Structure 1
Amino acid sequence: MLYETSGRTEEVLGVNIEDLDFAGRRCPLKSKGARTKARRRGQAREDYVLETVYWDAGTARLLPRLLKGRTRGPVFVTHRKPGPGKVVSPRDVCPDTGFARLSYGQARALLDEHTAVRGPGTGWDLHEYRHSSLTHLGEQGASLLMLMAKSRHKKPENVRRYFKPSPDAIAELTSLLAPGDSRR
């Protein structure tokens, strides 16, 4: 889901099942630096302008396996209930299983555990999914504006640091300059 949405890990981990639009393959989420809606009388302080992330077939296939029949609560949960001394918001606990929402640290540790090749700390990083997603979209010809829309960045210079084309992509681009190329 991180790869296909190009989302930030904290944002994706904060999604609840009831927010998912399975048919449209999208969900609204509170993004980093989300601004609050204009407050009216009686409106809670937690009302934010939500942004939408989109995913494709890979995430659509995996979500039902991850949810295991759950219909409400956090999408990503731990494998156990919070301890007796742990204070957890009701929003961060699955009402059906009692399991707590997966934290960034737990997600990072799980990913490292399952991808490490030379011992702890050598596995993948959660943020690499965002980098890879934007790099692959850029290599496929997505414009800077589309990359900004997908990643929900406000400034072009922030997107540029994510886009690191491979040597093969640069070689293919260079081949467009070849003499006699009909694409010129």
Structure 2
Amino acid sequence: MLENLYWDAGTARLPPRLLPRLFKGRIRGPVFLPHRRPGPGKAVDARDVCPDTGLVRLSYGQARALLDEHTAIGGPGTGWDLHEFRHSALRRLGQAGASLLMLMAKSRHKKPENLRRYFKPSPEAIAELTSLLAPGDTGR
């Protein structure tokens, strides 16, 4: 199943122009690719192979090691893990007032309880919601 990814302009400006460097002019196939082709006899799903370069999508282990390497401050093993990386955007969206349903759609979580820790509406959002019940409100 193909899925759409949604990025905004801020993502494209990641230093040093990370996404254009990752895409290298490609318009299809996996985004995160290693520098080498897979070894002979390695069974790979066709969806994981870039049709333009023949390179295979990074494995989970490779992605984890690269993320740690590039975010570590205090030496190996001190950087972000993939779970933190994935959910940092959900936390920011939740703090910005995104609804629980929108967070579920963005993250593809099936159960709301798995996302509740990211859904922390601001006091302003709660006040705005409460004002909907104010006396004289024509929206009733």
TM-score of the pair, normalised by structure 2: 0.69
How far residue 164 of structure 1 moved from its aligned partner, in angstroms, is 7.0
Amino acid in the other structure paired with 2:26: R
Change in 2 beyond 3 A, CA 1:102/1:116:
same
- Secondary structure, counterpart of 1:128 in structure 2: helix
Asked whether the equivalents of residues 134 and 147 of structure 1 are also in contact (C-alpha less than 8 Å), the reply is yes
Q: What is aligned with 1:57?
A: 9
Could you list the per-position Cα deviations for residues 42-69 of structure 1 after superposition, in whole angstroms to 9, with x for gaps in the alignment? xxxxxxxxxx442211334543321112
Select which of 139, 152, 159 maps to 2:115.
159
Could you say which structure has the higher strand fraction? Answer: 1
Could you say which structure has the higher helix fraction? Answer: 2
1:121 and 2:77 correspond: yes
Amino acid in the other structure paired with 2:105: A
Amino acid in the other structure paired with 2:97: G
Could you list the per-position Cα deviations for residues 12-66 of structure 1 after superposition, in whole angstroms to 9, with x for gaps in the alignment? xxx9xxxxxxxxxxxx42xxxxxxxxxxxxxxxxxxxxxx442211334543321
Select which of 99, 103, 107 maps to 1:147.
103
Structure 2 gaps, min length 5:
128-133, 135-140
Aligned-pair RMSD on alpha carbons?
2.9
Could you list the per-position Cα deviations for residues 92-123 of structure 1 after superposition, in whole angstroms to 9, with x for gaps in the alignment? 22233232211111000001111112222111
Q: What is aligned with 1:8?
A: none
Q: Using the alignment, how far apart are the partners of 2:119 and 2:75 within structure 1?
A: 27
Taking the TM superposition and a 5 Å limit, the aligned residue runs for 1:1-184 are 28-29=2-3, 52-61=4-13, 62-161=18-117, 163=118, 173=123
Greater RCO structure (CA 8 Å; 6+ sep): 1
How far residue 159 of structure 1 moved from its aligned partner, in angstroms, is 1.1
- Secondary structure, counterpart of 1:58 in structure 2: helix
Change in 2 beyond 3 A, CA 1:106/1:153:
same
Amino acid in the other structure paired with 1:149: A
Structure 1 gaps, min length 5:
1-14, 16-27, 30-51, 178-183
Change in 2 beyond 3 A, CA 1:56/1:82:
same
